Amino acid sequence: MDKSYRQFLVVAELSNISLAASHLGLSQPTLTNNMKKLEASFDVPLFIRKSKGVELTEYGLLLQEQVLELQRRHDALLDKMADLKERKTEKIRMGTGDAWWEVFVKDALRQYSANHPSISIQLEFGNHLKLMDMLIHGHIDLFIGHEIIGLSRKCNVTFTPLLQDQEALFVHQSHPLLVNNKVAADTELYPLLQVTPDSDTYQHLIDNPVPKQLERERKKISERIVYEINSLSASVDILKTTNAIMPYPQSMTEYFAKSDIVALPLAKKGQTGTVGIYHLNEVLADHVFDIKELLISCGSR
């Protein structure tokens, strides 16, 4: 992709030419001149200059949207070129949360692999915002996760709902709350364990931050000890050896029981979320369409 477009994206993201120049390893006058040349090439103003930085004009917003799409297609082209070099013209590139892997994704992938033994597989695990970033940049073709409330309209994606799942609070079976039977009153007194929490790196994918902020307030994250763990197996290990409380999908109850991890018996039902499949809003390749249909079948049982 043209270097001026890459530079423009950095300026647009940081809203500051000086910071963007430092990030890109350029001098500020050089980057300023490059942006003026870009504006001149379109004969429209791309930025509104302000005392503390810059803001995109309507022309700049349009260019940002189109350049991000160009970048995604360029990255996808590079991936396909690499696959072609290795004589792998078809490849399942998908992402999933750890919970959905255990609940139904691994069964769907096992069935698909049995029926298509010659197709390569790339599997990514992570938080839904991380996987969304990979999706819009062309690194994966689809992913399974919770519906993202407040998602940016710039993410040109389709969401296919599969199931509803409630949040439960998991602890080890000898947790003081179970022993003392004071669940409702005392949950906030114990450390909160978050598995693959949201990262600030991907906040640009959110247009409306209010739902995420309300979620933080509901869990009183700013007022308690928090363990942020990017591994489900490590989270289980920590949960077994501490008095932490882990919010996680209720559908994982049987899985955790094998490790002596149980759900707290709460008077109120946990928060409900919709789980589904995200992919770009475009026609899917045949093999991607096939795995999506199999995921729908397995996830809807």
Do the strands 157-172 and 261-263 form a parallel or antiparallel pair, or are they unpaired? antiparallel
> What is the DSSP-derived secondary structure letter of residue 46?
-
pLDDT digits (tens, 9 = 90+) for 194-220: 999 888 888 889 988 887 888 878 778
pLDDT digits (tens, 9 = 90+) for 31-52: 999 999 999 999 999 999 888 8
Per-residue pLDDT, 86? 54
Which of 78, 70, 56, 48 is CA-nearest to residue 3? 70
Percent over 90 (pLDDT), the chain: 66
SS3 59: helix
Q: Which residue stretches of the chain are H helix?
A: 3-14, 17-24, 28-42, 58-85, 98-100, 106-115, 128-136, 176-180, 183-186, 210-218, 232-241, 253-257, 286-299
Which of 29, 61, 59 is CA-nearest to residue 45? 59
pTM equals 0.70
pLDDT digits (tens, 9 = 90+) for 61-112: 999 999 999 888 888 888 777 766 654 557 899 999 999 999 999 999 999 9
Distance CA 189, CA 237 (A): 21
Distance CA 273, CA 149 (A): 10
Per-residue pLDDT, 73? 87
Per-residue pLDDT, 185? 59
Q: Does domain 91-299 have CATH number 3.40.190.290?
A: yes
Answer for the pair 147, 274: CB distance below 8 angstroms, yes or no. Answer: yes
Q: What is the CATH number of domain 3-83?
A: 1.10.10.10
| Better-predicted residue by pLDDT, 224 or 94 | 94
As a residue count, the chain comes to 301
* Domain coordinates in residue numbering, the chain: 3-83, 91-299
SS3 117: coil
